[in-house]
Chain A
Amino acid sequence: MNDTPVIYLDNNATTMVAPEVLEEMLPYFNRWYGNPSSMHSFGGMVGRRIREARERLASLLGASEEEIIFTSCGTESDSTAIYAAIRSYPEKKHIITSRVEHPAVKNLCDYLAKNGYRVTTVGVDKSGNLDLDFLYDNLTPDTAIVSLMWANNETGVIFPVEEIAEKTAAAGIVLHTDAVQAVGKIPIDMQTNRIDMLSLSGHKLHAPKGIGALYVRKGTKFSPFLIGGHQEKGRRGGTENTASIIGLGKAAELAAAKMSEENTRVRELRDKLERELTQRIPNCFVNGKDAPRLPNTASIAFEFVEGEAILLLMNEHGICASSGSACTSGSLEPSHVLRAMGVPFTAAHGTIRYSLSVYNTEAEIDVVIEHMPGIIERLRQLSPFWKSGACMAS
């Protein structure tokens, strides 16, 4: 590990803990370390700070405090939501999800499919938009839950979950959304929609890792995932992660304050990155370009080169991003999201995801724009497929 400055464009993977967040958290490790469940006021005062954090997070979501359950991460929130629904409706044996979900939902649904559930996966078109007709056609009285992400982690494509919620609510079916990538980046108001459950994760919005939350709309049938103490009104046992909950509350307050910057300045930086790279580099395109997308995410396919090699050359310049290629993940198949969108092999293996945050500057984006054409050209000179690529372009 060293302290060389990096250009961090991997904010959909995780984010820096905001300095204001860290500052609020620190005293709760070794100064005010009491247990909020204790009778003494030393613990009780921590309980008050947790209530404040809950209010702050509820306010970001347009929710009320009792609709927020703190969890350990986005994955726990997703599992809690899906198990809550299927345990609340034991007679229903059908689940609907999409082909492009995060593993937290996808792998759980795959598991349930092997354990007595019928799982319908809704496809997407080449822009990444959900096949709504197929979704609506498959809502049945046997459907226990529909779980669809709000925004995709790889492409940033936004699903119309609020519109979908009207249909599922009318059909009396629980709708859960994995909003891990959406919360803090786009405005969300649970008062104006009919979504039943929503998962979020602290470390995607400048709170620490190891803290998440699940929104559960008042009146939604619920069954706890972690059974234990009376914490979170008996909906999630386990002593509260006090410092991190307080951190998440502060991060939610900051996200609300920076929402407009995210959707103006950060969006402009992202658009500049996409515009300049697609202009300067032949045979490259933006995945999901024509779909509604998060303001911070650019998924760019560079044809005939491989993602891991691109990332390592970017790393030489201190630029951090992610790839949809097989090699980076250790799996042998390229991203299931890009495959679902029908991105050809020629491009899926060479897709790089740049994800920005409010901490990125225009100077950083300019450095990336300056280095990328050389990196891609260098690898294409090594690629046995590049000659045919050049022909195809002409």
Chain B
Amino acid sequence: MWEYTDKVKDHFLNPRNVGEIPDADGVGEVGSLACGDALTLYIKLDENQRIKEAKFKTFGCASAIASSSALTEMVIGKTLEEAEQITNEQIAEYLGGLPKEKMHCSVMGRDALEKAIACYRGKDVRVVEGNIVCECFGVTDIQIERAVKENKLHTIEAVTDYLKAGGGCGKCHDKIQEIIDAVLGAAKPKVVAPPKGKLTNLQKIKLVEETLAREIQPSLRKDGGDIELVDVDGNTVFVRLKGSCSQCKMSQVTLKQYVQTKLQELVAPELTVEEAAS
């Protein structure tokens, strides 16, 4: 059982500013279903470039919902320059604190705000800055450096609490430790250019999800079938065919010739598609 403050409980049970703004000036989307939490933040500005309206939709635990709700209250009335100064610590403080394992919820709020502001300013926010360190959750060295600096994190566990980085397979623990040592030792960390075109697991899952929904599901549904993403393991995409597809003798052809080709073309050439065991 998590020890949530009364303020977290209040913002979870009575979230403020829930919804969407159809004509928003800026939209920031972070997280995914696969990760277990996701937030879409909408902002609308007045004539003086102050945020007059902020709304959110969040999939996630109580602290993710409460952090999103708190964030909207914090940004309304602020200029973009003022809003940009908001740190994840401030979101947590606004809520009277968060359990340390849940600090990543406040980081998600800050990230969504940054993306919404960048979106308004017309920057392409889909480009991942820096070099991916944690492949499970798609976290870069720049994100880790920043969290370590801003929150004075000393351990790998603390980095996991704030960013989720290192909370999956654990292979990146050495790299995270190097970054912590470099930042705390005030040495300049080595920044290596990210390998071009390489996707993190997270980006891969999101792209596969999007491609299935946009390119593949509509045509399968026309024939009374459907497809569901079950898992992505390395470069193997596991899917389940549903509806008329599941009985179709041509389903293997559909999978290999159609789904796999599309995904190879639009996501990554090394992907293969398998039907999930049933």
Binding site for B on A (CB under 8 A): 123, 125-126, 304-309, 312-313, 316, 325-328, 330-334, 339, 342, 344-346, 349, 381-385, 388, 392
Q: Which of A305, A307, A313, A385 has the most CB of B within 10 A?
A: A385
Task: Say if the beta carbon of B59 comes within 8 Å of chain A.
Answer: yes
A residues less than 8 Å from B33 (CB atoms): 304, 345-346, 349, 385
CB contacts (< 8 Å) of B276 on chain A: these are 126, 342
Beta-carbon nearest neighbor of A350 in chain B: B59
- Does residue B110 face the partner (Cβ distance < 8 Å to A)? no
Query: CA–CA, A328 to B62, complex, Å?
Result: 10
Chain B positions 50-105 with a Cβ under 8 Å from a chain A Cβ: 57-62, 64-65, 101
* Cα-based distance from A174 to B214 in the complex (angstroms): 52
Residue pair B228, A344 in contact (C-beta under 8 Å): yes
Q: Are A382 and B36 in contact (CB under 8 A)?
A: no
Beyond the given pairs A306-B64, A345-B33, 18 more chain A to chain B contacts, judged by CB atoms under 8 angstroms and listed by A's residue number, are: A126-B277, A306-B37, A306-B59, A307-B61, A308-B61, A309-B61, A312-B12, A316-B13, A325-B36, A332-B137, A333-B167, A334-B36, A339-B231, A345-B229, A384-B40, A385-B33, A385-B59, A388-B213
* Chain B positions within 8 Å of A307 at CB level: 61
Would A381 and B18 be within 8 Å (CB), given that A306-B36, A316-B13, A332-B164 are in contact? yes
Query: How far apart are the CA atoms of A309 and B69 in the complex, in Å?
Result: 14
- How distant is B65 from chain A, measured CB to nearest CB, in Å? 6
> What does DSSP make chain B's interface, helix, strand, loop or mixed?
mixed
Q: How far is the CA of A313 from the CA of B129 in the complex (A)?
A: 38
| Contact indicator A385/B60 (Cβ below 8 Å) | no
Contact B238 A383 (CB under 8 A): no
> In the bound complex, how far is the Cα of B64 from the Cα of A173, in angstroms?
49
CA distance A327 to B38 in the complex (A): 13
B179 at interface by CB-CB < 8 Å: no
Docked CA distance A304–B34 (Å)? 11
Chain A residue numbers with a CB within 8 Å of B34 are 345
Q: Are B15 and A382 touching (Cβ within 8 A)?
A: yes
Q: Is A383 touching B229 in the complex (CB atoms < 8 A)?
A: no
Closest to B226 in A: A392
A379 CB → nearest B CB, Å: 8
Which of B36, B213, B230, B277 is the one whose CB lies under 8 Å from A326? B36
Q: Does B168 contact A (CB under 8 A)?
A: yes
Residue of B nearest to A315 (CB): B1
Task: Decide: B278 and A304 in contact? CB cutoff 8 A.
Answer: no
Residue B39 is within 8 A (CB to CB) of chain A in the complex: yes
Q: Could you say which of A123, A126, A316, A327 contacts B61, with CB atoms under 8 Å apart?
A: A327
10 closest A-B pairs by beta carbon, nearest first, are: A327-B61, A332-B167, A308-B61, A384-B57, A383-B59, A384-B40, A345-B34, A342-B276, A326-B36, A342-B230
How long is the Cα–Cα vector from A312 to B64 in the complex, in angstroms?
A: 13
Distance in Å from the Cβ of B152 to the closest Cβ of chain A? 22
- Please determine whether A309 and B137 come into contact, CB atoms closer than 8 angstroms: no
The answer to whether A309 touches B213 (Cβ under 8 A) is no
Chain B residues with Cβ below 8 Å from A306 are 36-37, 59-61, 64
CB of B7 closer than 8 Å to a CB of A:
no
Q: Which B residues lie within 8 Å of A304 (CB)?
A: 33, 59
Residues of A within 8 A of B137 (CB): 332
Are the CB atoms of A384 and B62 closer together than 8 Å? no
Who on chain A is nearest to B105 by CB? A327
Among B2, B61, B62, B213, the most chain A Cβ lie within 10 Å of the Cβ of B61
Chain A residues contacting B278 (CB-CB under 8 Å) are 125-126, 342
Q: Is B262 an interface residue (CB 8 A)?
A: no
Q: Assess whether B277 is in contact with A325, with CB atoms less than 8 Å apart.
A: no
Q: Which chain A residue has the least Cβ–Cβ distance from B166?
A: A332
- Assembled-state Cα–Cα distance A328/B39 (Å): 19
Q: Which of B29, B60, B276 has the most CB of A within 10 A?
A: B60
Question: Contacts of A305 on B, CB cut-off 8 Å?
Answer: 59
